[in-house]
Structure 1
Amino acid sequence: MRKRASIAAVAALLLAGCTSDPAGPAPTTSSPPVSTPSSGPTQPPTPAEQGESLPPRTDTPSLANLMRADFDGRGLRVLRTETRTDAYTRQQVTYRSNGTLVSGVLLRPHGRGPFPAVVLNHGYIGPSAYVTGQGMAREQDWLARAGFVVLHTDYRGHAAGDPAGDRERELRLAYTRDSINAVLALEKLAYVDADKTAMVGRSMGGGVTLNALVAAPGLVDAAVVYASVSSRFLDNLQHFTEPNRPGAVDDLYAEYGTPRQAPAFYRGLSSRTYFDRITEPVLIHHGTADATCPPRWSRTTQRLLERAGVDSTLVEYPGEDHAFYARWQDSIVRTVRFLRRHLDV
């Protein structure tokens, strides 16, 4: 299976918000989802090869800087075992993300392995209220029972990880670094098949996942995003941050300029600017009644992925909202089938 060619990293910026995920199971419904498949992947030139200008300041937070950096995910250490079920063991862990300590939970299926593995990127939950492993409990359980090792990263500044600075908390591309390093740390485990890894992200974590795909092509073999934030940074800034934290927007504009003054800066924070770097198949789930992250965002993202030659599919769930209650089980069955196909398990 295809695996990473070169990996390179960044500093801090995905502004998003999106509410946390519910933890309970969801019943199925009978109405079929609407599916929009795309064409297969190609290997188009990167934006740099096309001559696209990059931010002039080397210290400017950007996806371009993420692409230039190195990752060294390592040191995954078990803190304690939370529970043992009939199918897996769930443990609290920490790992290193370029020196920063990040916490999370690890679910290991019973058996010797090696197992395929998935990193989960959770949606927005206020760091002061967050507890380790929070946000994707349903996905954790289902994927572990399906035979995947699951590492749910808390991101820096959450739970037992090292503190995050104000800018890191507000401009969350540092979370992308933590997610990429989570894959690398996971792959070092003896019972993980390092050639069969994936990412699944929800809401804000969907944006983190898209950022990781453009920053580190070949890092994983497939990716799934649920009810994602926009792949355009300014959409998230205007939709979530301006009405809720206007002071943070003022600070951003004061340091880097307004969108009118510095359009290249804001394009450089948008994963869609670099979709032609993505080498992995992408499955997108979105409910048509999502009032938190509008479904038009995922429609636009999938259309641009397709235009960039990415093997991508958007599945819309009529009447489903951001939380994915009624149709969640339908979506996770589709997710597991997608991952098994592309990870060859």
Structure 2
Amino acid sequence: MTRLGRVAATGALLLVGAACSSGSSDGDRDGTADPASPSSSAAGAADDGVTASPDVPEPTTEPSPPPTSGPAELERWFDAEFTGGDLQVGEVRESTGSYTSYDASYRSEGLLVTGVLNVPAGEGPFPAVVLAHGYIDPAVYVSGQGMTRERGRLAEAGYVAFHVDYRNHAGSDDDPALDETQRFGYAVDVVNAVTALRDSTDVPVDDDRVSLFGRSMGGGAVLEALEMAPGHAQAAVVYASVASDAADNQRQFSDGGGFWDDLAARVGTPEENPASYTAASTGPHVDRITEPVLIVHGTADDTCPPAWAEETHGLLLEAGADVRLDWYEGEGHAFGPQFDASMDSIATFLEQAPA
């Protein structure tokens, strides 16, 4: 049994009966609301005599600095030599009859990136999914926030679910060039999380079945990751996603402050400098995507308009990609009544994707 297996077995005995987390929502300007609090399950664990440490073991590799200059163009990362790995598994956050959740960290471009890792009960190896969350202000974001429901449902379905905090979030290292390089570092962290899972000897992952799942801003990061490293993942889910045209995102989310307003101050608006926004968009490069893609969107989403899903779907179809668009009538950005149905469909899609 691996070290992780021994920890899981101990945690399961100590935390019998611990429930899945639930609690308050946290708003997300260009992302999603998380209807489950990531801290509630840790509190439950403490009630059973287990205290989760806030410290995650740091990877042992020596860091190398991320890019600090250069053009903010997506093509800059095409077929790059990605340096992800050294996954470290920390304290148990919660344990249910279906899975155990851990604090975790890994290296991405030399940076420490934290996250939350849900591992199903049993020996494995298990298929895995890397989760890319939507926008939540890094000043208030806590580890694992934004996709608590999705992480739990996937683990219950038998998937290792690795929620990536991203650089500049929670306990991760800061990348001072993140905004200047159009936040492409988030997608790099997603690519490197796949490698970290495959390289780990502690987490029982089926190397041929590692997929991506991005929500809102994270959907954009997943599309970027697919274009940066074609063939690196098995399949991808793009859920209530931002647009594949950076100009659309700037117009929608510029609201008197924040990243998109700062971007316009640096390079101009989409009308003033359209070339910069085209260079930062995934739409012109969807022909690089080789994995099956499932797009999930609600017809009443007023954060990421349904037209964006239609546009991305159309571009992928035109490029000959294996893509499907699932509409959920009346659902808004966060998904409510049909969330379970959407997750059932996603689990089926991932199960059927060719390895």
Band of TM-score, shorter chain: 0.7 to 0.9
Which residue is 2:134 aligned to? 123
* Cα shift at 1:128: 1.1
What is residue 339 of structure 2 aligned with on the other side? Answer: 328
Listed as ranges, the matches of 1:112-191 within 5 Å are: 112-165=123-176, 167-168=178-179, 171-190=182-201, 191=204
Task: Report the alpha carbon displacement of residue 257 of structure 1 after superposing the two structures with TM.
Answer: 4.9
Structure 1 position 68, deviation (Å): 4.5
Structure 2 distance, partners of 1:257, 1:315, is 35
Deviation at 1:336, TM superposition (A): 0.2
Aligned residue number for residue 245 of structure 1? 257
* Partners of 2:213 and 2:163 in 1: CA distance: 10
Which of 301, 304, 315 is matched with 2:326 structurally?
A: 315
Please tell me the residue identity of whatever aligns with 1:212.
A
Per-residue deviation, residues 230-270 of structure 1 (Å, max 9, x unmatched): 01001111110x22327x55653454455455433221111
The structural deviation recorded for 1:316 is 0.8
Q: Structure 1: state its 5+ residue gaps.
A: 1-15, 25-57
**2:281 maps to which of 258, 270, 283:** 270
How far apart are the structure 2 equivalents of 1:186 and 1:277?
A: 23
Partner of 1:89 in structure 2? 100
Percent identity of paired positions between Structure 1 and Structure 2? 47
Partner amino acid, structure 2, of 1:331: S
* Greater length-normalized contact order (CA 8 Å, ≥ 6 residues apart): 1
Q: Judge conservation of contact 2:132–2:213 (CA < 8 Å) in 1.
A: yes
Corresponding residue for residue 205 of structure 1: 218
Alpha-carbon distance in structure 1 between the residues aligned to 2:99 and 2:213: 19
Counterpart residue number, 2:248 = 235
Q: Distance in 1 between matches of 2:330 and 2:248?
A: 23
2:291–2:322 contact (8 Å) kept in structure 1: yes
CA distance in 1, matches of 2:142, 2:218: 16
CA distance in 2, matches of 1:172, 1:88: 32
Q: What is the one-letter code of the residue matched to 2:36? A: A
Contact conserved, 1:272 with 1:301, CA < 8 A, in 2? yes
Deviations 1:294-344 (A, max 9, x none): 011001110111001111111111111111001111100000000000055
Q: Which moved more, 1:146-155 or 1:258-267?
A: 258-267
Match of 2:127, SS state, is strand
Q: May I ask how many residue pairs the two structures share in their alignment?
A: 294
How far 1:129 moved relative to its partner? 1.0
Once the two structures are superposed, residues 194-224 of structure 1 have per-residue CA deviations (whole angstroms, 9 ceiling, x without a partner) of 1111001101101111111111100101101
User: Given that residues 72 and 180 in structure 2 are in contact (C-alpha distance below 8 angstroms), is that contact kept between their aligned partners in structure 1?
Assistant: no
- Give distance in 2, aligned partners of 1:21 and 1:204: 14
Q: TM-score, normalised by structure 2?
A: 0.78
Structure 1 residue 183 displacement after superposition: 0.7
Taking the aligned partners of 1:211 and 1:140, their CA distance within structure 2 comes to 21
1:104 is matched with which residue: 115, 128, 131? Answer: 115
Query: 2-side partners of 1:196 and 1:189: how far apart?
Result: 14
Give 3-state SS (helix, strand or coil) of 2:107's partner: strand
TM-score by length of 1: 0.80
Distance 1:74 1:131 in 2: 22
Secondary structure of 1:270's aligned partner: coil
Superposed CA offset, 1:1-53 (max 9, x none): xxxxxxxxxxxxxxx822333239xxxxxxxxxxxxxxxxxxxxxxxxxxxxx
Distance 1:343 1:136, change over 3 A: farther
